[in-house]
Amino acid sequence: MRLDKYICKVLDLSRTRTASLLEEDRVKLSDRSVKASRKMQEGDILEIHMPPAQSLEVLPEKMDLDIVYEDEDIIVINKPKGMVVHPAPGHMEHTLVNGLLYHCQDLSGINGVKRPGIVHRIDKDTSGLLVVAKNDMAHESLAAQLQDKSLRRIYRAIVHHPFSHTIGTVDAPIGRDEKDRQKMAVTAKNSKPAVTHFTVLENFKDYAYIECSLETGRTHQIRVHMAYIQHPVAGDPKYGPRKTIEAGGQLLHAMQLELIHPRTKEKMHFEAPLDPTFAKVLAELEKEAANA
């Protein structure tokens, strides 16, 4: 295997990250500089000198947040389509975390400087509910609920192709796509278990409206699983077909959230209406079906 591919695979680094390590001469093979194309051989001694992590300051930013619920421990947000949840290098502004820091001043520090308070996330173009921890006690409780599945998340999606059955479960492990490091895939290599349950709410001529509940929380799980069973989420530029509904991203909405309050131990249920773009597409499909 080529040296650069070997580093990507073993350390789970992106191609860009690996290329920069090589360009900065941070990779040594048997104590010598080496090219990315060099083929790895048995007995090679590889040294990688990782640069120290940079502390990136995340600045509070005033923005209108759709707050569904808030108390001293947690805040439940209805995230709009198009908003990134947490900052990343090259994208340190206009994220949900920037807005939360302005609104709350303080969030749990368990996930570090770039992801304060973030217990779980939803993709940029997925809309809907997520809960944020305002202190470490709440964060630890919510993280434990994710593990034992008492924190429940229910999504709505419009997917390609009608179904012949009304309920189903996709039980297929998800890991990094070997051909494209920016994507996830159903794979047996370096993967983790992933389970998605779904119910068909309405079938249309070319699409279906479904509800999904997650048993696990892998990156892009619903999008990957639905594409795997040949029902990709409509509007999805990453996992869907080229010919799809133009909706500025995948038609996926985190509609319901159930959790046990970290302090009071009360069972709580939250629900958010469909994103306007999603609701418009669904109404058009229903109107088309009624006139057929």
> Which amino acids are annotated catalytic?
123
Burial of 276 (0-12, 13-18, 19+ CB in 10 A): exposed
The SS3 assignment for 136 reads helix
Determine contact, residues 78/128, Cβ cutoff 8 Å.
yes
Cα–Cα distances in angstroms (integers) from residue 254 to residues 53, 125, 127, 131, in the given order: 33, 11, 6, 11
Distance CA 27, CA 31 (A): 9
Instruction: Quote the tokens at residue 18.
Output: 């690996």
Burial of residue 292 (number of CB atoms within 10 Å: 0-12, 13-18, 19+): exposed
